[in-house]
Structure formats: C-alpha cells, structure tokens
Structure 1
C-alpha cells in the first residue's frame, strides 16, 4: 500500500485507482441488490401467490447462510485471496438470480426454487461481505478507512434511493421475475471491476498446524472476549432480529392489504432511503462532534420511535409519515454502521480480520432468519399490524447493550496498535456475553 499515501495528498480516495474500481463495482452491485430486495418478495406474493408464512420463510432463507456458514466463512476467507473470493461469489449470484426469469419463461417457477435461490445467494453474500470488509484495509491506509467506508456506504445509500424506484418501475413494465435480470447483470458488472483491481496484497502465511475449528474458536473468542465488540454484537443482533420480523411482513401489508402498486412501493422505499445517503454524508462529522462511542449509541436511540408508524399506516397521508420514519431509521442506521464497522476494522489485528468480520456477521446477521420466521409466524397467527406493533415495542432492547457499556462515554475508541484489543480479549471472560 505504499502508493496509497500519494493519492491521499492529492485529494483522498477520490484519486485512489484501485479503491475507485472496488467502489464502482460495489455501487452497481448494490443497485441491483436493491432491485432484488423489492422484486424477490413481490415475485413470491404476486407471481407464486405465496402465503404470509411462506414470504417469511423466503426472507429467512435469504439470511440463513449467516447461521449455516457464518463462522467457518471467516476462517476460510482468511486463507484465501480476498479479491478472488469477491469475483467468484459475484459469478455465483449471477447464475442463481438469473435462474428465476429463466424458470418463469418456461412456466416452471415455484416457491421452492425461490427458497433455493435465496439460500445460494445468501451463502455467496456471506463470503463476499466477509472478504469485502477485510479487503478494504488492504487497499487503503489506516487513516483512510473511515473515508472509504463512508464513500462505500454513500454509494449503497444512493442505490437504496434509486434501486427500489427503478425496481418498481421494472416490475410494472416487464414483471417481477424479469426485473431480476438487472440484478444478475449488476453482479457480473461488479465482478469485472473487482477483477481489474491491480493491488495484490501478499498472501497471508499459513500456520503449519492450522485447524478450522481452532480458527473459528479464536475469532469467536476475540469478539466475545472484547467488551466493545461484544456490546456492538448484542445491539446489532437484537436490532436485526426485530427489523427482520418487521420486513418479513411489511411487503404483505403494502402489496396485499393496502393493494399499493409495485411502482409506489418502490418509490416509498426510495424516498426513505434518502435518509441513508444523508447519514453517509454526515457520519464522519457526527462521530467527530459527538465522539465515536456516543455516536454509536445515540444513532440507535434515534431509531426507537420510528417503529410505531408502520402498525397504523393506511392508504392515505400516513404513507408520508411512514416514509419519514423510514428516512430517519435509515439515516441513523447508516451513521451507526459506518462508525462501528470502521472501529471494528481498526481494533482488529490484520490476521484476524476475516474471522472477526465472519464472527460478527454470524452473531448479528444470524438473528435475521430467526426474526423473519418469527415475523411470518406472528403475521399468520395475530395479523400483520399486530406483528409490527410487537416489533416496535421491542425496539428499545438494542439500545441497552451499547448504552450500558464503555461506548457511552468513549470519545476515542482503541486501535489494535495500542495493544488494547488483544489484552482485553485475554482478560475478558468469553463465557459471558454480558457487558
């Protein structure tokens, strides 16, 4: 990375060629993913005529991979070249998602195929995301990590703004299965840009006595044994549990109960995603003004009241209120993600980056399939609106782990060069995940 300092003097990461290639590829991939976010459940609801519970199962399949391969993925990725992992898993997602319009063309599309596609793309996403977050510190200097995460998050937010609207329009124009072709092509685009990255970090040395189980245990011990990472994992995991329960049924509410057209649903999420873009633009300044620790827990606090809008929304002016609530939730969520991911990357020694990221994904995304199944089950048993109300009431739970932790007052969080992370890991009891 010796060449990274020069681009920084000339204007930061805007002129960092390899980062820009990663950035462009990921931006287009994120755009396609936003099309799938709206297209896949609408394929299930409008084309396959899935029940509320089946939509919940589909949502669970999308994130089940974080429970199935979440922990070993980190150890495997740490043994591989991050760039190759990104390319291969982009290609896998091209094939999986592209199978949906193909099956529909022959009249053979079923809910079971949607389950399989969701599982396969979920596994590929696990490996891609672990390698992706671990690759950034190899491409840029330590002082540029926050800027890199902010730029990547800004692109994701722009995709969240434009993607659902375009997805809704595509669904209206060419139907939901064929709208997924856009996502398949976006992953192909991403693979091409990642393949053009010239930086080749040296391959990490492999210990002669390496052992998958031991490596997984080391990553788990590092995260659970560190009070900062432990509190972030508990916060994010509980939030993802609740939000997954909500999003497992919200498309049923909007598309089936309120009978909103696909284009309007896409527009609703696009408008609300502007909050995510705003959060990406101000995250660095918020962390500088409030301090890194307070920025993490305060951004969670802002999301608490936003959940109480969806249970009462009707096909009237209250839809604007729902968009405003999602705007606020997306914005504060992006501030939280940029701050805590940048901190995690700086806290973790390079040899543990893959395992740390995989362990965190396992702990915080592993709750998502559970939440989705919970949402689908509750939606069937007590109704969609009551399910959303239960989720809103539980919205204070994610705040507690980060508020009652050292993050509450820590303006400057430790870096692995300080020797803090390893010391805390060795001295903290791994058996108890309570901060």
Structure 2
C-alpha cells in the first residue's frame, strides 16, 4: 500500500525557530540555578551523552538575557516559562488559569448547547477550536482510508464513524503537526485502536471470552511474526482476516515508514500495555467482579490513551531519542498524562455507558460500589481524582523540563500537554457521543 510522502522533519513552531534553542536552554539553566537556590540541593543533571543526542544543533542566535538567580519560590513552583512551555506551567491550587483571548472565545462557545458543557469543577485548559481546514481534510482522508483501503466498517456504521469526529479530535490534539500527512499517522492509529476495542471488546460484537487470542493475533499486525517459511504465508494471510487486523496492519505500515525504529518500537510496547489492560478488564467481566478502586486505577494505567501522546514527536516531525524517552521521569510524565486523559473519558462517557447493555466499569461506578457512595458522590470524587492526576502530571512535567533543559525534551513535553488539552476539548465538545449526568 502507498505510504504518505512526508516532508523532511521540521520544527513544529517554524515562526519561532530562529530563537528556540538558545532561548530555552538559557531560561532552563537559569531555572535550574533558581531551584538550587530555593531548595539548597542541585537538581538532577543529565549525562553529557544524553544531551548531545537530544536534538540537532540549534541555529546560531544571540544569547537570551539570563533571569536573575534566586527567584521567589512561588515562581519556581509554577514551572518552566518561555517558548514551548505554556502548557507545562503548574497552576497552584486555588488559582484559575487565564486563557488567551482565542482560548477564552473557544471556551465561551463550549458552554453552549452545540459545543457541550465542561464538567463543573474539572481542572482543564481550554483550547482554540481546531483548524477547520485541516479538520475537513483529515476527515475526508480517514474516511477514504477506512472505506477504500481497509474496509473497516459496514454501511450502517457510517453515522457512528462520522459522529466520532476523529479528524477534529486529532487536529486538536496535535496542533504542531507540520502537515496533514503527519496528522494522518495518528488518525489511522486512533481509528484502528477503536476498531479493536469495539469489535473485540465492547460495542460491536466484542466479548471477554476468547479476547486474549484475538488480541494476540491483532498484535502481530503491529509487531511482525518471524516464523518458519512453511507457516509465514498463513500468518500473512491472517492479517486481512478481519477489520481490526486490517486496520492495525495498514495504520502501522504507514507509521513505520515515517517513524524512526525506536519510535516504532515504543509504540509497539505501549500497544502491548493497552492490550494487557483490555485483558484485565475482560477478566473482571467474566468473573462479574468489581475491583478495588486502586486496582481499577492500576488497570487504567494500561488500558488508557498512552499510545497516543507517546507518538507526539513522530506526528510533530521530529524524534525524541530513545534514551531520553526511556528516562523514569519522562515515563512518569507520560503515564500521568495517559491516566488523567483516560479518567476524562470515564467522566464524559458515564451516561453513555449507563445506557448501554450490561455493566460497564468506570471510575465513578467502581468508587460508588466499593466505597458505598451515592452515584453523585462517586462521580464527584472521580472529578477530584482526575484533578489530582492533572496537577501531578503538570508538576512532573515542569520538574523534568527544569531538570533536563534540552530543546527536544521541552518540545516533547509541550506536545504531550497539548494532547492532554486537545483530548479534553474533544470529549467536552462531542455531543453526538457524550452528555453529562444531572449531578449539579
């Protein structure tokens, strides 16, 4: 199948390219000195080889003015400042973020009946409405791919496919994508992942019975089987056996042609995490078991959106080196982002799942049953848990940005934060799929 003709990797912020590298490094170095002055202990420093691999040499620019050392502790706690770090700054509890004029306009629109309502008390950052030109083109291309290339769904599923608004979703989550081709990398994967979830696990014929076998065979569409000559053709034929495998195989083929080897391997790893989470939830369904709240949250660290923000550099047209991506501090940031965004899904899909046949586990349901709370109180406690996860995500991201003042790291963290914000915007505004309970 044809692969997208991708342009050479380029900055996701072209208008600022001339001042990106040195400016960020200068500010980060100043922040590191400020942290040391405030805490009397030096922040962790990366090893020189890791810094050397982080990004191509920055363009020659005049040195940025260095902020004075010894900034007030309140300024340090708010996290990094400067280009590419807006979404990483901590908002102290009790403060409200001040959105830009465009974001405020988008939020005002979001309060209307067409755009849906934000969950009261939910900590989030509003974003401007995604670029309608890109949304239209991504929507056109993904529908063509789904129908013509992989025959993903029958005709009577078309309304649901359109109602998912995946083009608007991915454009909102990846504002730094250099081109529509880059956006399509994420969009195909998102659609394929949802096909596996729907057809194997949930809405469209899914079942916990036999799920492990189905997921294993689907995973070989992402992580190729290397077997004997006698059996290789049978496996290759199996990749087209059903719609989810066709979608996985095609989406991954596009992705690996655009991504570096380590980027492709990290995606395979995170998809295996996702499949393991599916299996835990399926086991509970088979046993008719409601897990403890902490067990549910553990499952949600695997059955979550993590594969999506982890590819933010590929979609942005650059690569965060493997040694930087694998650092425990970076893995913590990505895990917290995945956890928070998945609880957003639990909250916005709550009424949709209550109306569906059978019992669907989500955080409000688990809290209500395990802790003896009313439906309303279980839901409101879930909002508090989401908010704590969001604050922890922002704190961890700000700390990493200060400790590792490398342009590639700063840019990746900004991309993950943008995905978190875009994910909330899509859930809040997709009134075709979601509505809020009457708890306020």
TM-score band, normalised by the shorter chain? under 0.3
When the two structures are superposed, what TM-score results if normalisation uses the length of structure 1? 0.27
Structure of larger gyration radius: 2
When the two structures are superposed, what TM-score results if normalisation uses the length of structure 2? 0.27
Instruction: Give the structure with the higher percent helix.
Output: 1
